[in-house]
Amino acid sequence: MSAHELLHDMLLIRTFEQHLIKRRDHGFQLFSSGEEAVSVGLCSVLNRDDQLLCSGRAIGPALARGLEPGLVLAELLGKVAGPCRGRAGRGHMALPAQGFFGAHAVVGGNLTIAAGVALAMQSEGNQNLVACMFGDGACGAGALHETLNIAALWHLPLLLVCNNNQYSVSTPRAAALAPQKLSDLAVPFGMPALTVDGMDVTAVRDATREFSDHIRAGKGPAFLECISYRFTPHSTSARESRPTAEIEAIQALCPIVRLSSQMLMDGEISQADLDQMKKDVNAAVQAASVFAEAAAFPDPAEVLHDIV
Amino acid sequence: MTLSDETAAATKIFFREAIIRALQEEMQADPKLTLLGQDIGAFGGSYREFDGLFDAFGAERVRDMPVAEAAMVGIGVGAAAAGMRTLVSITYMDFLMLALDPLVNYAAKLRFKTAGQLRAPVVVKTTAGAKGQGVAHSQCIEAWLMAVPGLKVVAPSTPADAYGLLKTALREEGPVVYIDHKRLFPTAGHVPVKAACIPFGQALHVRSGSDVTLVSFSYMMTPTLQAAERLNAQGVSCDVIDLRSLAPLDMATICTSVKKTGVMVTVEEGQLTCGVGSEISFRLREMLDGVKIARIGAVAAPVSSNRVLEAASLPDADKIVTCVLTLLNGKGG
């Protein structure tokens, strides 16, 4: 994926979320703004037949995986045009036919599921991999230890991607987790593990590529920690717990500004092309909004569909 | 369905052998079926209910796992959702509590939440009940699971039902919890020679009577049938129903029986509060008026490994006989 595409995909997530938060009907959301580089860098390396699983912070991962913004917005707003007919929302959105096995809003809940998906892929004997994104909060959960152990034991084609945004709601990483570096958690299991700057999309992409080669060669799982910063509170209903000075400092680390500045400096993109890209992304989000607004809410009778 | 239909052209085997036979047949028929569990490989399972499968199908399809129940069920569910079919063996039902997240929060909701894009054809096979192993190796928590939309729950009492229900479970498109009982493994019974599934949601009418309907399942069918025999000697004729399937529940069979007897007693080994009997009783009250009802279950206490205390906590034939006679004499209901 070119730098243009990386930039475009990050801009799309940011613009999409900026549109969503302005809507009165936005509902309960967890945003990926500030953390775009993690999903975009990761997804830039995934193949069509790979699968991505993520936490309930799913908007960034879903858009980075290439789901149509209109479908995503429809799902978030509870419309039947969403891939899960609006039943899953942000926390459980999925489109496995496009390589997005889906979100699961229980912290750490998707880790063991992802290992199972990886087992199914391994049993099919293909070169595909499963990537599972989770937050630093999930690193305190037993499910991670159980998954690391079995994935290593069985050489599962599983890439564990810790999006370490450094807070579980209000609890700082240092107050919740003893290890200084979360990638150290994977080391005793004998798998390659690395911590990278999650605000640098090319660093995330390059590390993902290295690990994806390792996994596709049948050498088993890998663990990638990406240090990131969220620009907004934990969720649309959570109080901001971080000091203003910290939030201001975080804004200066914006992965979109970082990449676009670099590209402008290197002459990879002109200011005019960058402005045009922003316009195009805005137009795409507007189109998504029109699509989602036109879609219907489910009939109440649907509450009993697809149960058993 | 009556008992005689099921015993035609049958062979007598042990309960654990019925499980092996069902697994063997279904693994042969479906190359995607993989078993996951602790000590199920060369060891053959804690109750030897997996004997021979490792030799027949190999280590990839009969996978020994570390002691990690959440990951065992999570991996079983994830693999099933991604196109395999899995059976996860959780040695004791008490340990299933460690794995409720992938089962309840993920598998049971998967079809609904993805609008049918994904399903999890996974069977969680576990063993419930008391047999001297104490407070965290004895529990019957099937009623918790019955309350989860999207889960099916079955609990056979005979080798024939173990065989037929497990085969059905292994062909379902969504998650099933299949429950054995420790005291059933050494029992033997007739199983049809011809391969056959038993549909979920069909209770078995195992004894005909006119005075009282006894409803039970799993190992509690043993004291229930003993009680029915003793009550018969005292002139009380019992209609006995083996539920076999807890979710879905076959209320029609229960209702037909109670219309005849007007009296129902439920017998379970789990807790009475929000239990299987409570659920059946209330549903029955919604269907029939003027019925006398009583429930029998474990007392509200942990199940001790102390054999005096274990026996004191659980239903037995004496307690069932006493309960029925009290109810019929007008002191209950």
Question: Which 3 state secondary structure label does DSSP give A297?
Answer: coil
C-alpha distances in Å from residue A257, one per residue of A33, A274, B316:
12, 11, 73
CB contact under 8 Å between A117 and B74, yes or no, is no
What's the pLDDT tens digit per position in A26-72? 999 999 999 999 999 999 999 999 999 999 999 999 999 999 999 99
Distance, CA of A286 to CA of A305 (rounded, Å): 31
What's the pLDDT tens digit per position in B35-53? 999 999 999 999 999 999 9
The bridge status of strand B176-181 relative to strand B204-207 is: unpaired
A96 contact B CB<8A: yes
**Which residue, chain included where needed, has tokens 């998707």?**
A110
Short-list B53, B31, B28, CA closest to B43 = B53
| Dihedral pair phi/psi, residue A235, rounded to 5° | -150, 175
Q: What's the pLDDT at B3? A: 55
**B8 vs B153 pLDDT, higher one:** B153
C-alpha distances in Å from residue B327, one per residue of A83, B258, B263, B309:
55, 14, 8, 26
Distance, CA of B317 to CA of B296 (rounded, Å): 11
> Residue A105, Cβ neighbours under 10 Å: how many?
19
Q: Which of B65, B70, B112 sits opposite A306 (nearest CB)?
A: B112
Q: What's the pLDDT at A37? A: 98
Token pair recorded at residue B122: 């996974």
What's the pLDDT tens digit per position in B310-319? 999 999 999 9
B172 CA: distance to closest CA in chain A (Å): 9
Q: Which of B68, B79, B111 sits opposite A119 (nearest CB)?
A: B79
Window B:85-114, CB contacts with A under 8 Å: 86, 101-102, 105-106, 109, 111-114
The bridge status of strand B188-192 relative to strand B10-14 is: antiparallel
Q: What's the pLDDT at B7? A: 52
Reported as a pLDDT band with limits 50, 70 and 90, residue B4 is: low
Distance, CA of A71 to CA of A93 (rounded, Å): 10
Q: Is the pLDDT of residue B333 over 50?
A: no
Q: What's the pLDDT at A281? A: 98
Q: What's the pLDDT at B330? A: 74
What is chain B's mean pLDDT, rounded?
A: 96
Q: Is the pLDDT of residue B1 over 90?
A: no
The CATH classification number of A3-8+34-57+100-282 equals 3.40.50.970
Token pair recorded at residue B85: 């079919």
Q: What's the pLDDT at A1? A: 86
Instruction: Provide the percentage of residues in chain B whose pLDDT is more than 70.
Output: 97
Q: Tell me, what DSSP letter sits at residue A296?
A: P
Q: What's the pLDDT at B332? A: 43
What's the pLDDT tens digit per position in A244-263? 999 999 999 999 999 999 99
Q: Which residues pair with A161 in a beta bridge?
A: A133, A224
Q: What's the pLDDT at A18? A: 97
Chain B residue with the nearest C-alpha to that of A102 = B114
Burial of A111 (0-12, 13-18, 19+ CB in 10 A): buried
**A26 vs B143 pLDDT, higher one:** B143
The H or E element spanning position A47 is none
What is chain A's mean pLDDT, rounded?
A: 96
Reported as a pLDDT band with limits 50, 70 and 90, residue A160 is: very high
Distance, CA of A249 to CA of A263 (rounded, Å): 22
| Dihedral pair phi/psi, residue A305, rounded to 5° | -85, 145
For the segment B278-303, the average pLDDT, to the nearest whole number, is 97
A98 contact B CB<8A: no
Q: Are A51 and B78 in contact (CB under 8 A)?
A: no
Q: Is the pLDDT of residue B6 over 90?
A: no
- Report ipTM (2 d.p.): 0.95
Residues 6+ apart with CB under 8 A from A257: none
Distance, CA of A221 to CA of A162 (rounded, Å): 13
Half-sphere exposure of B297 (CA within 13 A, CB side): 22
Distance, CA of B206 to CA of B240 (rounded, Å): 6
- For chain B, domains (ranges, CATH) are 13-192 (3.40.50.970), 204-327 (3.40.50.920)
Q: Are B99 and B145 in contact (CB under 8 A)?
A: no
Q: Which of B84, B106, B115 sits opposite A120 (nearest CB)?
A: B84
Q: Which of A85, A117, A308 sits opposite B150 (nearest CB)?
A: A308
Q: HEC states along chain B?
A: CEHHHHHCCEEEEEHHHHHHHHHHHHHHHCCCEEEEECCCCCCCCCCCCCCCHHHHHCCCCEEECCCCHHHHHHHHHHHHHCCCEEEEEECCHHHHHHHHHHHHHHHHHHHHHCCCCCCCCEEEEEEECCCCCCCCCCCCCHHHHHCCCCCEEECCCCHHHHHHHHHHHCCCCCCEEEEEEHHHCCCEEEEECCCCCCCCCCCEEEECCCCEEEEECHHHHHHHHHHHHHHHHCCCCEEEEECCEEECCCHHHHHHHHHHHCEEEEEEEEECCCCHHHHHHHHHHHHCCCCEEEEEEECCCCCCCCHHHHHHHCCCHHHHHHHHHHHHCCCCC
Chain B residue with the nearest C-alpha to that of A303 = B112
Question: Which 3 state secondary structure label does DSSP give A136?
Answer: helix
**Which residue, chain included where needed, has tokens 């009250």?**
B285
Q: What's the pLDDT at A32? A: 93
For the segment A213-226, the average pLDDT, to the nearest whole number, is 98
For an interface test with A, give the residue of B33, B109, B113 to mutate (most A CBs within 10 A).
B113
| Dihedral pair phi/psi, residue B178, rounded to 5° | -110, 125
Please list, residue by residue across A260-285, b when 16 or more beta carbons sit within 10 angstroms of its beta carbon and e when fewer do.
beebeeeeebeeeebeebbeebeebb
- Domain segments of chain A as ranges: 3-8+34-57+100-282
Distance, CA of B116 to CA of B110 (rounded, Å): 8
Chain B residue with the nearest C-alpha to that of A306 = B112
A74 contact B CB<8A: no
CB contact under 8 Å between A149 and B66, yes or no, is yes
Q: Are A205 and A196 in contact (CB under 8 A)?
A: no
Q: Tell me, what DSSP letter sits at residue A226?
A: E
Distance, CA of A155 to CA of A114 (rounded, Å): 13
